A and B are shown apart, each in its own frame.
Chain A
Amino acid sequence: MSVRVAFASRSSHIGMGLCAAALVALAVAPLWGGRDDLQLLSEVYTYVALASLWNLLAGYAGLVSVGQQAYVGLGAYVLFAFAILAGLSPLWAIPLAGIIAAIVAMPVAGLVFRLRGHYFAIGTWIIAEVFRLLASQVSVLGGGSGISLPASLVIAIASSRQWRDFIEYWIALALVVAVLALIVLLLRSRYGLALKAIRDSELAAACNGIDVLRTKVLVYIITAAATAMVGAFIFLQRLRISPDAAFSVNDWTAFVIFITVIGGIGRIEGPIVGTIVFFALRQTLADLDTIYLLTLGVVAILVMLMAPKGIWGLIVESFGWQVFPLERSVILGDRRVVSEQKSGG
């Protein structure tokens, strides 16, 4: 009798089918959507990407960071710096932002990984504050009050304003698809198995020969690079940067954490569900900025206390669905004998 490990299940076949259909529909959104729709969708994509990356860090690697705005801001400033000082096209600056963030994240990891658990969280926040303060010292990039992207570089992206909108929309879509694909591939690899083992028990993982620290540092650096690319894109769309906006803890960390917690932490579908809830709530409470944040905070705390696995966690418990083929099952002959989900994975 043959023994093999399978990732897919019936629900993930359906899920991937639906995803492919949705992807096609979203890729041709310029055909059916107006300018506002494209902008809203782009914003949705950036939040799905940021929340998925934070989820990889906190939900899988157990690294609770409240300082990811450090990399959103860093990526954004790299884009503005290369555009303004070197005249580099913003489109090339996006991958460059990822590379530079990965290089910066290495020494930063050396520092913040000296702090354990809870203290790691505040350590990452201090790093973000240091980045913000340093950015406001750079007077060629507008210092504390900020600077705009030169119009000539923006115009050079495409021949017309409409095509610029389309290109920016497709970049946003490509970024979120790339981030989700990266996370799925990472989780299906040996590192993914290591991450799940670390999440369940660091001690047991270490006993089975996993280099816990190395795995965590790797995830930290990958996340930093991808977060910076998303950050660079966000500020390419905004056309203006300032230290307070680029390194905002509310916009790039508080919202992202609430989205992930509400949607379901430690599951790849969670941030997607969370982002949909987030935008649905925002469209209804749009005029009440303060009240909106307050409501989200209350909802996130209630979810954390009552249903710590979030909305998607509840769905998994009731129906056993998975959209992405991630849960490993052992197939003996043609029978599914052990699956991660049933064993509490």
Chain B
Amino acid sequence: MIDWINVILQGVLVGGLYAMFAAGLSLIFGVMRLVNIAHGDLIVLAAYVALVTTETLGVGPLTSLAFVVPLMAVIGYALQRLVLNRTLGEDLLPPLLVTFGLSVIIQNGLLAVFTADSRKLQAGDIEVATIRVFEGVYVGLLPLLQFAVAVAVIAALQFVFYRTALGRAFRATADSQSVAQLMGLDNRHVFALAMALSLAVVAIAGVFLAVRANFDPAIGPARLIFGFEAVIIGGLGSLWGTLAGGLVLGVAQAIGAHINPGWQLLAGHMAFLVILAVRPEGLFPKVRL
């Protein structure tokens, strides 16, 4: 019994990380109907940026966020302005193929610079610190912090979307690009800001990913898939739904891994496919962001 409580608790905590993968993806899709296939590779890129930052400046991973987050946001803005804006339109192919190409470029670029060796960020004492919930059930301080950050990120995105002028611009552009333009919004700028925000979230997710486990240049696509599954399980266009989707995915993987280590990923994919078959609109659907 205690065993299962631990398993589910671990799943929930990892689920927070998956929700962070998903939030950036969901944001971009909500604003400009773009699925960024390079999303997972950008998470890995952020992890490497954090690695270089901690090694050259000698700071901890959490401190490195102060550098990684703004840098990724700038990359996001530039990427959208210079490349991705040119691909948006009626045709689905260009954005898909260009982001797919970007994914391959980032992966192989990282491979050329950092080799295929596994790396990890060292966070020091906090990595092993645990809190005792009750006898037999312990929670790592780091996973707990990661989960709290995930909830905070979702809450912050929710706030930006519904309580700020920027969020109003996002929602207006999502509703109708032409009307938004008539109201004086520059869509190219709005889209670039959305991508910047998305990559800021990616940066946070990348740093936590790098502290939690080993990473190498090839793990990006799997992160994209986890994020995507969380979005669909939770229901398109709902940020809190995305958090729930991440938790469902995390718990499914943890249960699978507990039964047989080879079933961890399979169990997550199965949970996704079952939801898709039984409830394709997701657990908490909402038409718009």
Contact = CB atoms under 8 A, between A and B. Distances in A.
Contact of B101 (A58, A122, A265, A304): A304
Contact of B100 (A123, A133, A257, A294): A257
23 contacts: A64-B96, A66-B37, A66-B100, A111-B277, A115-B232, A115-B276, A119-B228, A121-B96, A126-B228, A129-B225, A129-B265, A130-B266, A130-B273, A133-B265, A249-B221, A257-B100, A290-B108, A293-B104, A294-B105, A297-B101, A297-B104, A304-B98, A305-B87
Contacts of B33: 118
Contacts of A134: 266
Contacts of B104: 250, 254, 293-294, 296-297
A118 B34 contact: yes
Nearest to B115: A290
A64 B96 CA distance: 8
A126 B95 contact: no
Interface in B81-104: 83, 86-87, 92-98, 100-102, 104
Interface string B234-267: 0000000000000000000000000000100110
Interface residues of B, number: 41
Contacts of A293: 104, 108
B147 interface: no
A136 B261 CA distance: 12
Contact of B92 (A62, A122, A290): A62
B269 A305 contact: no
Interface string A56-76: 001000101010000000000
A305 B276 contact: no
B219 interface: no
B216 interface: no
Interface of A: 58, 62, 64, 66, 110-111, 114-115, 117-119, 121-123, 125-126, 129-130, 133-134, 136-137, 249-250, 254, 257-258, 261, 265, 290-291, 293-294, 296-298, 300-301, 304-305, 308
A138 B280 CA distance: 30
B93 A64 contact: yes
B87 A122 contact: no
B276 A298 contact: no
Contacts of A300: 97, 101
A40 B18 CA distance: 43
B100 to A, nearest CB: 6
Given A118-B92, A133-B266, A258 B101 contact: yes
Task: List 7 tightest A-B contacts by C-beta distance, closest first.
Answer: A118-B35, A297-B104, A297-B105, A301-B101, A294-B108, A114-B280, A297-B101
Contacts of A298: 101, 105
